[in-house]
A = this chain, B = another copy of it.
């Protein structure tokens, strides 16, 4: 992963959360109030599914790609189940620094970037205007920590070393006939992004057999662009994430299939039957959004 672009206007802070715009604004105010310039603060998304930790961990990793190596990524999605978890900061070998809850949210991105060391943020080491004791760590702990980090404080200065809780994005498994995986993300169009790598499906495949959970398998076209799916036609294609995506032409696959993040997806495929014309799907994949 190349992360070369320089920061023109100082190091950047990205913000990702499920807290909505009003709380996100308070995080931004805390950063600006701590001396971070507005142009250093970049909202990635604040409308992630509420408490959707797994989906957020996946999207954070995808959204954070391309930012300069000096970037501080702050993420806040925290369903609040289970016991106490610490606020943490993770330094990475690729450069970016991650700030957020120790609930797994940061781990897929951290592992992609290569974990260097993680620290539990000690609130006493932050310069904050508000007292400890609120319920909004994004504003009261993560934002002040990020402000210190962009101004040069080292992660190790924020607290004691910690071993973060592990978390892995679920991986699809190969089966004799294809793959078994699950839905990682339902996008705004109701498309189902699975964890099955597009690369597993060979170039000569024209159709997949697809089943949701233990449902009946159905044959669906394996296409290279949304346009190839007629209105209302269920099909599959290689998503922009490099993962198989299940979609309905001009429709919402999530509604049609009543599928959501975590739904099991079973795929099977074989070589393109000779009876089909070679032009049914042109050889070179293209894109469309």
A residues bordering B, Cβ < 8 Å?
2-3, 5, 8-9, 12, 16, 18-26, 28-30, 32-35, 37-40, 42-48, 50-51, 59, 62-68, 76, 78-84, 101, 129, 132-141, 185, 187-189, 224-227, 229, 231, 237-240, 242, 245, 249-250, 284-289
Contacts and interface: CB of A to CB of B under 8 A. Distances in A.
A139 B39 contact: no
A29 B64 contact: yes
Contacts of A16: 25
Given A239-B135, A287-B141, A289-B135, A250 B21 contact: no
Contacts of A139: 240
Contacts of A65: 26, 29, 33
5 contacts: A9-B37, A20-B45, A25-B45, A32-B42, A136-B239
A62 B40 CA distance: 22
Contacts of A284: 132-133
Contacts of A35: 5
Given A66-B33, A188-B18, A245-B135, A25 B39 contact: no
A51 B191 CA distance: 13
Contacts of A238: 133-135
Contacts of A101: 288
A228 to B, nearest CB: 9
Contact of A38 (B2, B9, B45, B225): B9
Given A9-B39, A83-B227, 16 more contacts: A20-B187, A21-B44, A22-B48, A24-B45, A25-B63, A30-B66, A38-B40, A50-B188, A51-B250, A80-B250, A101-B288, A134-B240, A134-B242, A135-B288, A136-B240, A137-B288
A233 to B, nearest CB: 12
A187 to B, nearest CB: 7
Contact of A26 (B24, B63, B81): B63
A97 to B, nearest CB: 16
A32 B34 CA distance: 24
A214 to B, nearest CB: 26
Given A81-B227, A227-B83, A45 B22 contact: yes
A32 B227 contact: no
Scoring A18, A64, A240, A245 by chain B CB atoms within 10 A of each residue's CB, the highest score goes to A240
Q: Which A-B residue pairs are the 8 nearest by beta carbons?
A: A136-B240, A33-B66, A20-B188, A29-B66, A80-B226, A21-B45, A39-B39, A133-B285
Contact of A67 (B29, B51, B62, B288): B29
Contact of A80 (B50, B135, B227): B227
